[in-house]
Protein backbone atom coordinates (compact mmCIF):
# COMPACT_ATOMS: atom_id res chain seq x y z
CA UNK A 1 0.00 0.00 0.00
CA UNK A 2 1.21 3.49 -0.81
CA UNK A 3 1.97 5.46 2.37
CA UNK A 4 1.58 8.87 0.71
CA UNK A 5 -1.96 8.26 -0.54
CA UNK A 6 -3.79 5.75 1.69
CA UNK A 7 -7.02 5.90 -0.33
CA UNK A 8 -7.20 5.89 -4.09
CA UNK A 9 -9.41 4.41 -6.82
CA UNK A 10 -7.10 1.37 -6.82
CA UNK A 11 -7.24 0.95 -3.05
CA UNK A 12 -10.36 2.76 -1.73
CA UNK A 13 -10.16 1.34 1.80
CA UNK A 14 -8.53 3.28 4.59
CA UNK A 15 -5.57 1.58 6.26
CA UNK A 16 -5.95 -0.32 9.50
CA UNK A 17 -4.72 0.69 12.03
CA UNK A 18 -5.31 4.33 11.12
CA UNK A 19 -2.31 6.45 10.26
CA UNK A 20 -1.08 8.78 12.97
CA UNK A 21 -1.42 12.52 12.29
CA UNK A 22 1.71 13.99 10.76
CA UNK A 23 1.37 17.46 12.27
CA UNK A 24 1.38 18.29 15.95
CA UNK A 25 -1.31 20.77 16.91
CA UNK A 26 -1.65 22.78 20.07
CA UNK A 27 -4.47 21.83 22.39
CA UNK A 28 -4.82 25.42 23.57
CA UNK A 29 -8.05 26.10 21.58
CA UNK A 30 -9.72 23.18 23.36
CA UNK A 31 -8.79 24.59 26.76
CA UNK A 32 -9.85 28.11 25.80
CA UNK A 33 -13.16 26.78 24.54
CA UNK A 34 -13.76 24.83 27.73
CA UNK A 35 -12.93 27.85 29.90
CA UNK A 36 -15.22 30.07 27.82
CA UNK A 37 -18.08 27.55 28.01
CA UNK A 38 -17.66 27.03 31.77
CA UNK A 39 -17.41 30.73 32.56
CA UNK A 40 -20.47 31.48 30.41
CA UNK A 41 -22.51 28.87 32.27
CA UNK A 42 -21.35 30.19 35.65
CA UNK A 43 -22.13 33.79 34.73
CA UNK A 44 -25.60 32.76 33.56
CA UNK A 45 -26.21 30.92 36.85
CA UNK A 46 -25.07 33.99 38.83
CA UNK A 47 -27.36 36.17 36.69
CA UNK A 48 -30.33 33.89 37.41
CA UNK A 49 -29.58 33.84 41.15
CA UNK A 50 -29.26 37.63 41.22
CA UNK A 51 -32.49 38.04 39.22
CA UNK A 52 -34.64 35.54 41.10
CA UNK A 53 -33.45 35.44 44.72
CA UNK A 54 -34.87 37.93 47.21
CA UNK A 55 -32.57 40.56 48.74
CA UNK A 56 -32.47 38.74 52.10
CA UNK A 57 -30.98 35.57 50.59
CA UNK A 58 -28.37 37.54 48.63
CA UNK A 59 -27.37 39.44 51.81
CA UNK A 60 -27.24 36.12 53.70
CA UNK A 61 -24.74 34.84 51.08
CA UNK A 62 -22.47 37.78 51.98
CA UNK A 63 -23.03 39.92 48.89
CA UNK A 64 -23.57 43.47 50.09
CA UNK A 65 -23.54 45.30 46.77
CA UNK A 66 -25.09 44.28 43.47
CA UNK A 67 -26.64 46.22 40.58
CA UNK A 68 -30.23 47.36 40.60
CA UNK A 69 -32.84 44.75 39.70
CA UNK A 70 -34.01 46.79 36.71
CA UNK A 71 -30.91 45.49 34.90
CA UNK A 72 -32.45 42.01 34.92
CA UNK A 73 -34.78 43.28 32.22
CA UNK A 74 -32.45 45.80 30.60
CA UNK A 75 -29.53 43.43 29.94
CA UNK A 76 -31.56 40.86 27.94
CA UNK A 77 -33.41 43.64 26.11
CA UNK A 78 -30.17 45.40 25.19
CA UNK A 79 -28.66 42.07 24.14
CA UNK A 80 -31.56 41.33 21.79
CA UNK A 81 -31.37 44.83 20.32
CA UNK A 82 -27.62 44.40 19.83
CA UNK A 83 -28.14 41.09 17.99
CA UNK A 84 -30.84 42.63 15.78
CA UNK A 85 -28.64 45.65 15.10
CA UNK A 86 -25.79 43.31 14.12
CA UNK A 87 -28.04 41.48 11.64
CA UNK A 88 -29.28 44.80 10.26
CA UNK A 89 -25.71 46.08 9.86
CA UNK A 90 -24.58 42.98 7.96
CA UNK A 91 -27.63 43.12 5.68
CA UNK A 92 -27.08 46.83 5.07
CA UNK A 93 -23.42 46.26 4.21
CA UNK A 94 -24.37 43.44 1.84
CA UNK A 95 -26.99 45.61 0.11
CA UNK A 96 -24.57 48.53 -0.14
CA UNK A 97 -21.94 46.29 -1.76
CA UNK A 98 -24.37 44.77 -4.29
CA UNK A 99 -24.22 46.36 -7.75
CA UNK A 100 -27.43 47.70 -9.27
CA UNK A 101 -29.44 45.84 -11.90
CA UNK A 102 -28.34 48.25 -14.63
CA UNK A 103 -24.65 47.89 -13.71
CA UNK A 104 -22.53 45.96 -16.19
CA UNK A 105 -20.82 44.13 -13.30
CA UNK A 106 -23.95 42.01 -12.90
CA UNK A 107 -23.38 40.62 -16.39
CA UNK A 108 -19.60 40.31 -16.62
CA UNK A 109 -16.75 40.79 -14.23
CA UNK A 110 -13.02 40.55 -13.71
CA UNK A 111 -13.07 36.74 -13.70
CA UNK A 112 -15.13 36.26 -16.87
CA UNK A 113 -13.65 33.82 -19.35
CA UNK A 114 -14.89 34.86 -22.78
CA UNK A 115 -14.06 33.05 -25.99
CA UNK A 116 -11.50 34.76 -28.21
CA UNK A 117 -12.33 35.64 -31.82
CA UNK A 118 -9.88 34.13 -34.31
CA UNK A 119 -9.85 35.79 -37.73
CA UNK A 120 -13.58 36.45 -37.82
CA UNK A 121 -14.65 32.87 -37.02
CA UNK A 122 -17.11 32.28 -34.25
CA UNK A 123 -15.50 30.54 -31.26
CA UNK A 124 -18.88 28.98 -30.46
CA UNK A 125 -19.22 27.28 -33.87
CA UNK A 126 -16.99 24.35 -32.84
CA UNK A 127 -19.43 23.48 -30.08
CA UNK A 128 -22.18 22.95 -32.67
CA UNK A 129 -20.39 19.89 -34.11
CA UNK A 130 -22.03 16.58 -33.15
CA UNK A 131 -20.17 14.92 -30.30
CA UNK A 132 -18.01 17.96 -29.61
CA UNK A 133 -17.26 18.90 -26.03
CA UNK A 134 -16.98 22.68 -25.98
CA UNK A 135 -14.47 24.55 -23.89
CA UNK A 136 -15.90 26.30 -20.87
CA UNK A 137 -16.58 29.98 -21.55
CA UNK A 138 -18.88 32.65 -20.24
CA UNK A 139 -21.43 33.29 -22.95
CA UNK A 140 -21.93 37.02 -23.65
CA UNK A 141 -25.37 38.35 -22.76
CA UNK A 142 -25.94 39.58 -26.32
CA UNK A 143 -25.54 36.05 -27.67
CA UNK A 144 -27.83 34.67 -24.97
CA UNK A 145 -30.48 37.25 -25.88
CA UNK A 146 -30.21 36.42 -29.60
CA UNK A 147 -30.63 32.71 -28.93
CA UNK A 148 -33.38 33.08 -26.34
CA UNK A 149 -35.44 35.81 -28.00
CA UNK A 150 -34.77 35.34 -31.73
CA UNK A 151 -38.20 33.79 -32.39
CA UNK A 152 -40.18 36.62 -30.83
CA UNK A 153 -41.67 39.49 -32.72
CA UNK A 154 -40.05 42.94 -32.64
CA UNK A 155 -42.79 44.34 -30.43
CA UNK A 156 -42.45 41.65 -27.73
CA UNK A 157 -38.64 41.82 -27.92
CA UNK A 158 -38.71 45.54 -27.24
CA UNK A 159 -40.91 44.95 -24.22
CA UNK A 160 -38.80 42.05 -22.91
CA UNK A 161 -35.50 43.98 -22.81
CA UNK A 162 -35.76 47.48 -21.29
CA UNK A 163 -33.60 50.11 -23.00
CA UNK A 164 -31.82 51.17 -19.80
CA UNK A 165 -30.03 47.80 -19.62
CA UNK A 166 -27.06 47.82 -22.00
CA UNK A 167 -26.34 44.61 -23.90
CA UNK A 168 -22.85 43.87 -25.09
CA UNK A 169 -21.85 41.21 -27.57
CA UNK A 170 -18.14 41.23 -26.76
CA UNK A 171 -16.55 41.30 -23.30
CA UNK A 172 -14.15 44.05 -24.36
CA UNK A 173 -17.20 46.31 -24.86
CA UNK A 174 -17.78 46.38 -21.11
CA UNK A 175 -15.69 46.96 -18.03
CA UNK A 176 -16.58 46.96 -14.36
CA UNK A 177 -14.77 50.09 -13.34
CA UNK A 178 -16.02 52.77 -11.01
CA UNK A 179 -16.66 55.06 -13.97
CA UNK A 180 -19.21 52.68 -15.51
CA UNK A 181 -19.22 50.94 -18.88
CA UNK A 182 -16.52 52.02 -21.30
CA UNK A 183 -16.99 51.82 -25.06
Over residues 69-84, the pLDDT tens digits come to 899 999 999 999 999 9
CA angle at 58 for the pair 54 and 62, rounded to the nearest 5°: 160
Contact yes or no for 75/48 (Cβ under 8 A): no
Q: What is the pLDDT of residues 169-178, one digit of tens each?
A: 444 444 444 4
Q: Which residue has the higher pLDDT, 113 or 24?
A: 24
Domain boundaries, the chain: 26-66, 67-98, 99-115+135-183
Contact yes or no for 138/113 (Cβ under 8 A): yes
Asked whether the predicted pLDDT for residue 53 surpasses 70, the reply is yes
49-60 b/e (C-beta count within 10 Å ≥ 16 → b)? eeeeeeeeeeee
Please tell me the predicted confidence (pLDDT) of residue 183. Answer: 41
List Cα–Cα distances, 12 to 17, 19, 66, in angstroms: 15, 15, 63
Q: What is the pTM of this model?
A: 0.44
3-state secondary structure the chain: CCCCCCCCCCCCCCCCCCCCCCCCCCCHHHHHHHHHHHHHHHHHHHHHHHHHCCHHHHHHCCCCCCCCCCHHHHHHHHHHHHHHHHHHHHHHHHHHHCCCCCCHHHCCCCCCCCCCCECCECCCHHHHCCCCCCCCCCCCHHHHHHHHHCCCCHHHHHHHCCCCCCCCCCHHHCCCCCCCCCC
Q: What is the pLDDT of residues 134-148, one digit of tens each?
A: 667 777 777 788 888
Asked whether the predicted pLDDT for residue 88 surpasses 90, the reply is yes
Amino acid sequence: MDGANPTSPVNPLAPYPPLLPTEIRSRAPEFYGFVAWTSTCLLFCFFLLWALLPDDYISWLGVTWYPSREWTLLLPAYSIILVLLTYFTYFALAFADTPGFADICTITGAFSCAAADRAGSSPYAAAAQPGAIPLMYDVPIGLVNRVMYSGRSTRSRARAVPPEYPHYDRPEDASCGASGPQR
